[in-house]
Every structure is written in C-alpha cells, then in structure tokens.
C-alpha cells in the first residue's frame, strides 16, 4: 500500500488512528472540516509522507479509517498516466467501477479521471489519478473493491466483457461509518432526498421537504472564476434575454463570502460562494442551472475541454464546480441540474441516447451524483417548438430518462421541464404521463391565474396513470417578465396569490422564480439576488408555514369548498384545512360533510410571523360556516390571508 498518495485513502496508524479508537470507545462523533480530511479522520497531504506504513506498527488491525454517514467518501487510485487530450481517450476508453459493500447493502459506483488529483488548484490536464466519490447511507463497516478497465469505448458499453483490467493502487480497502456531526439545513444532517407521494422526502426518515428557490440566472455556471469559461457569442434574439461578451462575476455578493468558506486558486470563487450564502440565508433551498447551453441562450456553460469537443471533459473546471456544489449542499441548497436547453436537445447523437449522450450523463453522475439533494432535469422546454423545431421526440426523452435512472446508483429524481402552455405542452406530457422512469415535472406556465388548475390537472392525470408525479412550479411567465425586481413590484401580489400559494395548495412540491428576459437583472445577466430580496422572504414565509403546520404529503386540493373566487383549499379530510383567501370579507367554508370542532388560526402570507387568532376561535362541522375575520395586519397592508383549520 502506497501511503504517500492522496489523503483520501490513507490506511495508516497515527495520532488520527488513536482518535478513531477513542471515538469508537466513547461513542463520540468525529468533528472534522472538509479541508482537513474530505470527511475522513485523516491528515493533510503533506503530513502523510512522514507517517509510517501500517505494517510497521504493531496491532495494525485498528487502522480503519472513520467516515461519517451522508458525508462524501472520496478515494483516489494511482493508475495509468494520461491526459484530457491523450490519443487514447481517458474518458471514453477507460472505466473505473468501485463496489462498496455493507452487511445490509451494496453499491457499484462509477469513478472518473481526475488528472493530477488537485486540478481545481493546479488546472492540470494530465496525471495518473482516478477518483471515486461515494456517500454511505448506513452506519458500521464498509469495504470496497475497485477495478479499472480499458477498451475502446468501454465507458459507454453495456458491460465490461472483453476489457483489459488495468492495475491501480489500493484497489481494495475498508472503512467504518459513524453518525454525522452536522446540524441545521446541511443535507449531511438528514440524508438523501427522494420522491415519495409526489413530494420530496428524506429517504431514511419520515421528514418531507418543500422546495423554494431561484430559477435564474439559468447560466449560473457561466462564471468568470471557473477555468476555461467564456461566452462563445453574444446574442440579441427575439424571445430571449440579450447578452454581451461579459460573463457572470457576481461582484455585489463578494461581501457575503465568510471566513472559512471555500475558494480555489488563491481566492477565486468568493463572489459565487457568497451569492449562495446570501440565498441560503433568506431561507431559499434550491437553485436551477444549466450544465450545457451550447447553441442556447447564454452560450457560456459546458463541461467539455472545448464547446465542440464532446468526448473530452475539462477536469479542472468540473472540480471547481464540485467545490461550489459541496458548499450549496452544506447550506441546504438543492442542485437543480438542467442537462440541456431546447436549442441543443439534438446536439448529442441527434437527440438519441447514444455514445455522446451516455458519456455526458455518465460523467455528470460519476462526478456529482454523490450529492444528497439533486434533480436531473431532462432539459429546458424539452420537445420541439416553433422557435426550436429540432427537439427530442417522445422515444428519445423516454430513452434518456431510462438511461439516467438505470445509471444513477442513488436514484435521484428525474424531472422534465415543460413548455409554457397547451396544446404544445399537453401533446408532450400526454405521451409520457405514467412513465416509470420520469418522477415528475419542472413546470413552466405563462398565465399566472391558471397555475393551480394546471398543477391539479397533471397531479390527477399522473395519479390515475399509476405513477404520481412530483410537480414543481419552476418558470412563471410571461417569458419576457417573470418575477420582476422588488423595486418594480414590492409585494409581488400576483406571484404570491396565484403562483406561490396556488402551487403549494394544489399539490405542488415547490416553486422557483424565473427572472424573465426583458427586465433588469434578467434570466441571463442577473448578478445580484438581493434585487428580489422581498420575493425570497415572501417565499420563505410559505415554506415555513407548510413545514411547521401541515401534513401536506397526505393532503389534496378541494378549492370548491370555499365560496370566494381565486381562493384555494388544501385538506386532509376531517383533520386539517389550509385556505388561501384573496379577501376575507364574507368568506365561508362548506363543512356539511364534516363532524367535530376545528380551531381557526390565521397566517400573514406577505409579512409572515406566528399563527394568530381572529374574530372566531373555532367552528363546528355540519354546515356552511363563516370564517370570521383575521387579526389586524402588522406590517405592509394587504387583503389576502391564509386560514388554518385543525380538528380539536
């Protein structure tokens, strides 16, 4: 065993081993920073060269590394030296498979080529390091066994049959997993998000999760501090935001970076890391971004060494993306990865899931699939349209979804971003509703007042088809407007009434806010999330209300129970009712079929705060009942209120 290699796979006896033993004896949990050990009880690179080999120390059986549940285990292997541009393509002609075993389960995880193992700092395009990332979900003892295969196009082959097995260092090993020391919003405190009952849920608990966040800028990763990132060409086309030759730098968020936050290459990345800090501090927990927009609107994001080279990946750029993604996860922010744009759906394999698309997807899954909160989105506005007639057809989008589901060992949600209106949208969705490999919709909707009806309709259709969809309202129109600045619309009244509460009280699993194309700080050029600070706060009020008061995963919309137009009712029959009332004067609820008594409390959707008492404390079933009046408004004035009825 070569103990001079990267710290990620040390098997040594040292002061850290002693610490591990003490932790096991005392039942304590390790508290280490990512910078120190990438989640393991190990030392820094420079410390390793002086540490003794395990064979040189007595009682080497105790030299088992310790990792934490839900933290990333990152293991490096020394293998053949190559480069991003080698004639023998390391991305296409090699395949690293690592099997992780536990007494109760096992995973086979794809690895990837990592150049010199430090490419985020060195920008190296060559080296002999091959890497795997794995997130253990169970406590106790794990073992691993790694194999590196070599054969023409082995990376996209259906099996490793006939491939040469290449020697690598530390091909086998083991480690112990203890409980996580993380708390709060950090996903490492809770585990992996999956789809359950049409909502997000942490797989290993009964806790559900509501999404609220930013849908813009869609080219978030078109950022000046990432290696080899630039705009191919500026654009000023009708139907999209205009661009110049400048890409994102997020200067106003530099002040939001905090001591101890990650950077790369002597301080790069601070502004984007700061932007994530700001958004998370407002209570937002999701960010939507493209991983490839070649031919699309921004033309500034791709994972490749060049925008016209689809079999070779930019290792240093992707490692820098990973730094940002890890920080997002630590701040409780879901990675909404949008895999393509409507203009480039047929760029790879003419839309099929062939060599180029499989390679692209395999690389993203191998490098980033270990993250706990992640969506794979099949593509923005997926399917042909008048302005982009070369879209994927139904067979192609189904094949892509199936490949992702069968290739992703963690089974992250797979969503489809829709067109904005019918019949264009429904023609596509009718052909895929009920499809096992698609978990739901990333909905685009142009008319705000129709949001609730559209969500309820597709929830019902998917349920009737036997595979209930998770539906999130991710792009509200019109395309040129979206969610405008606070300075233009301080209370965001139509977004609050029709989109935010209309979505959540109709069975939607969350919202993201699209910035439009023809307003300041738009979908492509926005540099400052603070321009919509009030919108984030309003959205967070709704998230907190849902998480603290409702078993929403067991509730269904029944808007007709309320006598007011544009009111919404979400209920678990006979238990709890959440009502959005656009006005409260003369509001009633049809309780003819209910029995018992229900306590009434009010929630302020604009200003937030605690539940409050109104003019009536409780009502009984068996009749159409008046809801009375809410308390006086404290803060900005408004007419709409949320009324909560819970059975006593």
Rounded CA gap, 155 and 77, in Å? 18
Strand-by-strand arrangement of the 73-83 sheet: 73-83, 126-134, 112-113
Contact 602, 611 (CB under 8 A): yes
Q: What are phi and psi of 577, to 5 degrees?
A: -135, 130
Residue 11 has pLDDT above 70, yes or no: no
Closest residue by Cα to residue 377 from 286, 268, 450, 500: 286
For 238-267, write each residue's pLDDT tens digit: 777 888 999 999 999 999 999 999 999 999
Closest residue by Cα to residue 232 from 298, 289, 317: 298
Mean pLDDT on 409-429: 97
Mean pLDDT on 636-646: 95
Q: How confident is the model at residue 63 (pLDDT cuts 50, 70, 90)?
A: confident
Query: What percent of the chain stands above pLDDT 90?
Result: 87
Mean pLDDT on 525-545: 98
Residue 487, helix vs strand vs coil: coil
Residue 471, helix vs strand vs coil: strand
For 155-200, write each residue's pLDDT tens digit: 999 999 999 999 999 999 999 999 999 999 999 999 999 999 999 9
The confidence score (pLDDT) of residue 236 equals 77
For 311-321, write each residue's pLDDT tens digit: 999 999 999 99
Residue 642 has pLDDT above 90, yes or no: yes
Q: What is the mean pLDDT of the chain?
A: 91
Rounded CA gap, 229 and 221, in Å? 9
The confidence score (pLDDT) of residue 62 equals 55
Q: How confident is the model at residue 6 (pLDDT cuts 50, 70, 90)?
A: very low
CA distances from 515 to 32, 85, 359, 379 (A): 39, 39, 32, 18
Residue 460 has pLDDT above 70, yes or no: yes
Residue 454, helix vs strand vs coil: helix
Exposed/middle/buried for residue 406 (C-beta within 10 Å: 0-12, 13-18, 19+): exposed
pTM of the model: 0.91
Rounded CA gap, 411 and 402, in Å? 11
Q: How confident is the model at residue 284 (pLDDT cuts 50, 70, 90)?
A: very high
Contact 91, 364 (CB under 8 A): no
Q: For residue 37, is the peptide bond before it cis, meaning its omega torsion is within 30 degrees of 0?
A: no
The confidence score (pLDDT) of residue 242 equals 82
Rounded CA gap, 117 and 507, in Å? 45
- Both tokens assigned to 409: 């060992």
Which element (helix H / strand E) includes 100? strand 94-102
The confidence score (pLDDT) of residue 241 equals 83
For 89-99, write each residue's pLDDT tens digit: 999 999 999 99
For 330-362, write each residue's pLDDT tens digit: 999 999 999 999 999 999 999 999 999 999 999
């Amino acid at each position: 065993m070569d103990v001079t290699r990267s710290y990620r796979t040390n098997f040594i006896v040292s002061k850290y081993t002693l610490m591990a033993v003490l932790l096991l004896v005392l039942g304590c949990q390790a508290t280490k920073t990512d910078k120190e050990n990438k989640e393991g009880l190990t030392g820094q690179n420079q410390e390793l060269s002086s540490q003794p080999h395990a064979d040189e120390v007595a009682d080497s059986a105790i030299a088992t590394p310790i990792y934490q549940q839900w933290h990333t285990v990152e293991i490096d292997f020394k293998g053949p030296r190559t480069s991003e541009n080698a004639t023998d393509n390391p991305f296409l002609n090699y395949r690293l498979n690592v099997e992780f075993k536990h007494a109760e389960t096992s995973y086979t995880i794809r690895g990837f080529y990592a150049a010199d193992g430090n490419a985020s700092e060195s920008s190296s395009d060559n080296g002999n390091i091959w890497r795997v990332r794995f997130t253990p979900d169970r406590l106790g003892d794990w073992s691993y066994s790694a194999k590196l295969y070599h054969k023409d196009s082995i990376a996209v082959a259906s099996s490793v049959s006939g491939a040469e097995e290449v020697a690598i260092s530390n091909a086998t090993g083991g480690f112990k997993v203890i409980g996580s020391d993380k708390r709060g919003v950090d996903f490492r405190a809770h585990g992996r998000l999956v789809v359950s009952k049409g909502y997000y849920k942490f797989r290993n608990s009964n806790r559900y999760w509501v999404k609220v966040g930013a849908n813009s800028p869609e080219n978030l990763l078109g950022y000046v501090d990432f290696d080899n990132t630039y705009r191919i060409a500026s654009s000023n086309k009708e139907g999209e935001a205009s661009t110049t030759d400048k890409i994102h730098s997020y200067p106003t968020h530099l002040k939001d970076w905090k001591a101890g936050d990650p950077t790369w290459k002597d301080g790069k990345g601070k502004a984007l890391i700061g932007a994530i800090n700001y958004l998370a501090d407002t209570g937002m927990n999701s960010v939507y971004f493209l991983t490839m927009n070649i031919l699309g609107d921004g033309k500034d994001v791709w994972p490749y060494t060049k925008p016209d080279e689809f079999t070779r990946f930019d290792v240093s750029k992707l490692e820098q993306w990973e730094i940002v993604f890890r920080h997002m996860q630590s701040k409780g922010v879901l990675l909404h990865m949008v895999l393509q744009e409507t203009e480039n759906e047929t760029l790879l394999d003419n839309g099929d899931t062939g060599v180029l698309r499989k390679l692209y997807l395999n690389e993203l899954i191998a490098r980033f699939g270990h993250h706990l909160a992640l969506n794979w989105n099949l593509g923005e506005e997926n399917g042909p349209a008048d302005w982009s007639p070369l879209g994927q057809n139904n067979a192609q989008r189904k094949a892509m979804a199936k490949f992702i589901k069968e290739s992703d060992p963690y089974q992250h949600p797979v969503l489809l971003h829709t067109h904005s209106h019918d019949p264009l949208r429904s023609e596509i969705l009718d052909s895929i509703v009920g499809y096992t490999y698609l978990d739901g919709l990333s909905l685009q909707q142009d008319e705000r007042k129709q949001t609730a009806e559209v969500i309820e309709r597709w929830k019902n259709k998917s349920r009737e088809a036997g595979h209930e969809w998770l539906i999130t309202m991710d792009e509200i129109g019109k395309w040129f407007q979206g969610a405008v600045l606070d300075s233009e619309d301080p209370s965001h009244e139509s977004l609050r009434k029709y989109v935010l509460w209309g979505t959540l009280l109709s069975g939607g699993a969350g919202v993201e806010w699209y910035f439009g194309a023809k307003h300041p700080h738009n979908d492509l050029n926005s540099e400052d999330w603070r321009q919509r600070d009030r919108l984030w706060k309003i959205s967070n009020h709704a998230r907190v209300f849902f998480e603290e008061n409702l078993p929403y995963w067991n509730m269904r919309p029944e808007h007709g129970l309320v006598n007011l137009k544009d009111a919404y009712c979400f209920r678990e029959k006979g238990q709890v009712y959440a009502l959005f009332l656009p006005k409260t004067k003369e509001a009633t609820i049809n309780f003819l079929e209910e029995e018992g008594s229900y306590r009434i409390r009010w929630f302020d959707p604009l200003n937030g705060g605690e539940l409050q008492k109104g003019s009536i404390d409780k009502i009984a079933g068996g009749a159409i009942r008046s809801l009375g009046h809410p308390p006086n408004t404290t803060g900005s004035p408004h007419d709409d209120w949320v009324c909560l009825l819970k059975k006593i």
